[in-house]
A and B are shown apart, each in its own frame.
Chain A
Amino acid sequence: MIADCEVIDFHGHVGRWDALDMADDPDRMLFAMDRAGIDRACLFNIFHPDGRRGHDLTAAFVTRHPDRFIGFAYASPLWPDDPVPELERAIDELGFRAIKIYPPYTSYNLDDPVWDPIYRFADTRGLALISHTGSEATCPPRLFANVAARFPNAHFVIGHSGNIEPHRSEAIAVARAHRNVYLETCSTFRAPGVIEKLVAGAGAARVLFGSDIPLMDPRPQLGKILTADIGHDDKRQILGNNARRLLHL
Chain B
Amino acid sequence: MPSLDFHPTVPVFDANIGVGHRHDRVAPFAGPAELSAQMKAQGVDRALVYHVQGETISAIDGNNALLAWIGDHDGFTPQWMANPNQACLAQLQTLRQEGRLSSVRLHSTTDSHLSFSDWIYGDLLDWLADADIPLWVSLADTPADQIAATLGQYPQLRTVLVGAHYMHAMAVRPLLRRLPNAHIELSRYEKLGGVEELRDEFGAERLLYGSYYPRYAMGPILYYLHTADFSTDELAAVCAGNIERILLKAIA
Once A36-B227, A217-B224 are accepted as A-B contacts, the answer to whether A188 and B188 lie under 8 Å apart by CB is yes
Which of A37, A213, A236 has most chain B Cβ within 10 Å?
Answer: A37
Q: Which of A192, A216, A229 contacts B166 (CB 8 A)?
A: A216
When distances are taken between beta carbons in the complex, the residues of chain A under 8 Å from B215 are: 191
Q: Which of A29, A188, A224 contacts B192 (CB 8 A)?
A: A29
Instruction: List A164-198 residues whose CB lies under 8 Å from chain B.
Output: 188-194
When distances are taken between beta carbons in the complex, the residues of chain B under 8 Å from A37 are: 1-2, 227
Q: Is the CB of A190 within 8 A of B194?
A: no
Instruction: List A104-161 residues whose CB lies under 8 Å from chain B.
Output: none
Q: Which of B28, B42, B190 contacts A227 (CB 8 A)?
A: B42
Q: Which of A3, A191, A216, A232 contacts B190 (CB 8 A)?
A: A216
Q: Does A53 contact B (CB under 8 A)?
A: no
Task: Please name the residue on chain B nearest to A226 by beta carbon.
Answer: B6
Q: Which of A1, A20, A36 contacts B167 (CB 8 A)?
A: A20
CB distance from A140 to the nearest CB of B (A): 22
Complex: how many Å from CA A220 to CA B195?
12
Task: Please name the residue on chain A nearest to B228 by beta carbon.
Answer: A35
- B183-214 interface code vs A (CB 8 A; 1 in, 0 out): 00000101111110000000000000000011
When distances are taken between beta carbons in the complex, the residues of chain B under 8 Å from A220 are: 190, 220-221, 223-224
- A18-38 interface code vs B (CB 8 A; 1 in, 0 out): 011110010011011001110
Once A2-B3, A188-B165, A224-B217 are accepted as A-B contacts, the answer to whether A217 and B190 lie under 8 Å apart by CB is yes
Complex: how many Å from CA A152 to CA B223?
38
CB distance from A86 to the nearest CB of B (A): 29
Once A192-B38, A223-B219, A227-B223 are accepted as A-B contacts, the answer to whether A2 and B190 lie under 8 Å apart by CB is no
When distances are taken between beta carbons in the complex, the residues of chain A under 8 Å from B192 are: 22, 25, 28-29, 32, 213-217
CB distance from B252 to the nearest CB of A (A): 34
When distances are taken between beta carbons in the complex, the residues of chain A under 8 Å from B214 are: 191-192
Complex: how many Å from CA A213 to CA B224?
14
Instruction: List B1-47 residues whose CB lies under 8 Å from chain A.
Output: 1-6, 28, 38, 41-42
For chain A, which range describes its interface: under 10, 10 to 19, 20 to 34, or 35 or more residues?
Answer: 35 or more
Q: Is the CB of B3 within 8 A of A20?
A: no
Number of A-B pairs whose CB atoms are under 8 Å? 114
Task: Please name the residue on chain B nearest to A193 by beta carbon.
Answer: B217
Q: Does B169 contact A (CB under 8 A)?
A: yes
Complex: how many Å from CA A5 to CA B41?
23
Q: Is the CB of A32 within 8 A of B193?
A: yes
Q: Does A16 contact B (CB under 8 A)?
A: no
Q: Is the CB of A191 within 8 A of B193?
A: no
Which of B166, B195, B218 has most chain A Cβ within 10 Å?
Answer: B166
When distances are taken between beta carbons in the complex, the residues of chain B under 8 Å from A194 are: 217
Q: Is the CB of A21 within 8 A of B223?
A: no
Complex: how many Å from CA A220 to CA B4?
14
Instruction: List B144-190 residues whose CB lies under 8 Å from chain A.
Output: 165-167, 169-170, 188, 190
- A216-237 interface code vs B (CB 8 A; 1 in, 0 out): 1101111110110100100110
For the complex of A and B, list the 4 residue pairs with the smallest distance between their C-beta atoms, beginning with the closest: A223-B223, A227-B219, A223-B220, A37-B2
Known: A226-B6, A226-B223. 15 other contacts (CB 8 A): A29-B192, A37-B227, A188-B166, A188-B188, A189-B216, A192-B213, A216-B166, A219-B228, A223-B220, A223-B221, A223-B222, A223-B223, A227-B6, A227-B42, A229-B41
The residues of B with any CB-CB pair to A shorter than 8 Å are: 1-6, 28, 38, 41-42, 165-167, 169-170, 188, 190-195, 213-224, 227-229
> Can you identify 29 A-B contacts, CB atoms within 8 angstroms?
A2-B1, A5-B4, A19-B170, A21-B170, A22-B169, A22-B192, A29-B192, A35-B228, A188-B165, A190-B220, A191-B215, A191-B216, A192-B213, A215-B166, A215-B192, A217-B190, A217-B192, A217-B194, A219-B224, A222-B223, A223-B221, A226-B4, A226-B6, A226-B223, A227-B217, A227-B219, A227-B222, A232-B4, A236-B4
